[in-house]
Amino acid sequence: MLSEIPTVRPSTPLLDAVDQRMSTLRDLSKDQLLVLCEELRAYLLYSVGQTGGHFGAGMGVVELTVALHHIYNTPFDRIVWDVGHQTYPHKILTGRMNQMHTMRQAGGLSGFPKRSESEYDTFGVGHSSTSISAAMGMALAARQQGIDRKVIAVIGDGAMTGGMAFEALAHAGHERPNMLVILNDNQMSIGHNKGGLATYFAKIWASKTYIAMREGSKRVLEKIKPAWELAKRTEEHMKGMVAPGTLFEELGFNYIGPLDGHDLPGLINTLQNMKDLEGPQLLHIRTMKGKGFAPAEADPVGYHAMNKIEAKPVEKESSGPTSTPLAAKPKSPPKYQDVFGQWICDMAEQDERLVAITPAMCEGSGLVEFARRFPDRYYDVAIAEQHALTLAAGLACEGLKPVVAIYSTFLQRGYDQLIHDIALQNLDVTFAIDRAGLVGQDGPTHHGAFDLSYMRCI
């Protein structure tokens, strides 16, 4: 367990070998893979300390990232990451280790997967809830082209709150492509499983014996429809009693989980067993954001990302009363979201009709204090920008004064609702649009460069 950011490059012999030749990763023993995970965590912390950036989510998927690249023949097999905050370990393992010092800088590595950057980055992301749709497209293309390719979508429990993810799940249940969806539940959104019994059954459901029995019984019972339906319902209800997988089973996925996402040997065994299964599969793993770094484990929200670690100034030894003390740092001006946060609290005190809405950006939009002081007038709708806007429209219809706090880049996702549900009906909705213009290190997926154009025409 690390308790501080390394300021000197850690020794990483196994990681260095993988950086030189990706196939090395597939030849490592399970014991060596465990050491590799330790080296990867240490190097991730060191590199983010040099550049700043997202690292909490990446620390949580170290074992998963290592297991995926160990089991699957990447980049021929496709791994599609959702959002991209968790892909720093993926970048380190796929030939970009020595470029990590350029992360989120002009001409350097992108803070998110980027197709033009590496063949291992199969889909460019930045906005959430897109991975299942993209991976399904790749899986259907492989089926149409007759290519035996494995396709995996990795999506977090936060991104799973986006409606687009459920649209893709429903369609996949109908088309039944050969694909694996890995739900990375870092316990920030989805509820906990129901104890050790769930983990025990998850291991059974992912075992080769159970899978062989299930597939064999399916071939026999499909010829007797009533018997097959009864067997299928019995299995779903049994899973539903001990694990939160009934919804996915109803959508047509074979659900396995929840499993410990930091149990590397268990992950490898499960992925190996699921690798050649037909149809849509869903593996539910539980991870800890910031795993392996004590401060981030204690405060996963605060350590979602961080600024680079500045070298501490060296104080000169005192030479008596003539020595000059170090100058105090000038006080930073307030950020936009801080000013907005104070404004909306002031306005809420004056007008009880005011309500605040955010699509999962409470901290970033400066609504923490409002949520604390006015909990009955605060709505966090999760990653559902379209719903956020139409919810605001409904509130405005009844005389309330909704304020939608949203980043410029995410307002793009609710554009139809902005036009059709709010503007055409001339409804009184206020938008607090943050991160305007070029936002710098997060790159083009997060630039607020289009809002003047797409809003002035309405």
Sign of the torsion formed by the C-alpha atoms of 290, 294, 298 and 303? negative
Indicate the SS3 state at residue 180: strand
Q: Which two tokens stand for residue 202?
A: 């998850």
* Rounded-to-integer distance, Cα 310 and Cα 302, Å: 18
* Rounded-to-integer distance, Cα 187 and Cα 289, Å: 8
Indicate the SS3 state at residue 187: coil
357-362-367 Cα angle (round to 5): 75
* Rounded-to-integer distance, Cα 380 and Cα 377, Å: 10
The secondary element (H helix, E strand) that includes residue 81 is strand 78-81
Please tell me what DSSP assigns to residue 437: B
Q: Which pairing describes strands 354-358 and 401-407: parallel, antiparallel, or unpaired?
A: parallel
Q: How many CB atoms lie within 10 A of CB 433?
A: 17
Instruction: List, as one string, the DSSP characters of 343-399.
Output: HHHHHHHH-TTEEEEESS-TTTTT-HHHHHH-GGGEEE--S-HHHHHHHHHHHHHTT
The secondary element (H helix, E strand) that includes residue 280 is strand 280-286
* Rounded-to-integer distance, Cα 270 and Cα 205, Å: 9
Q: Which two tokens stand for residue 98?
A: 């020595």
Amino acid identity for residue 228 in this structure? W
Among all residues, which ones are annotated catalytic? 289, 385, 413
Q: Where are the alpha helices (DSSP H) in 124-179?
A: 131-145, 163-175
Are the C-beta atoms of 191 and 157 separated by less than 8 Å? no
* Rounded-to-integer distance, Cα 417 and Cα 411, Å: 10
In terms of Cα–Cα distance, which of 384, 372, 2 is closest to 165? 384
* Rounded-to-integer distance, Cα 365 and Cα 352, Å: 21
* Rounded-to-integer distance, Cα 30 and Cα 51, Å: 31
Are the C-beta atoms of 301 and 9 separated by less than 8 Å? no
Q: How many CB atoms lie within 10 A of CB 401?
A: 19
Q: What is the maximum span of the chain, computed from C-alpha positions, in angstroms?
A: 96
Please tell me what DSSP assigns to residue 96: I
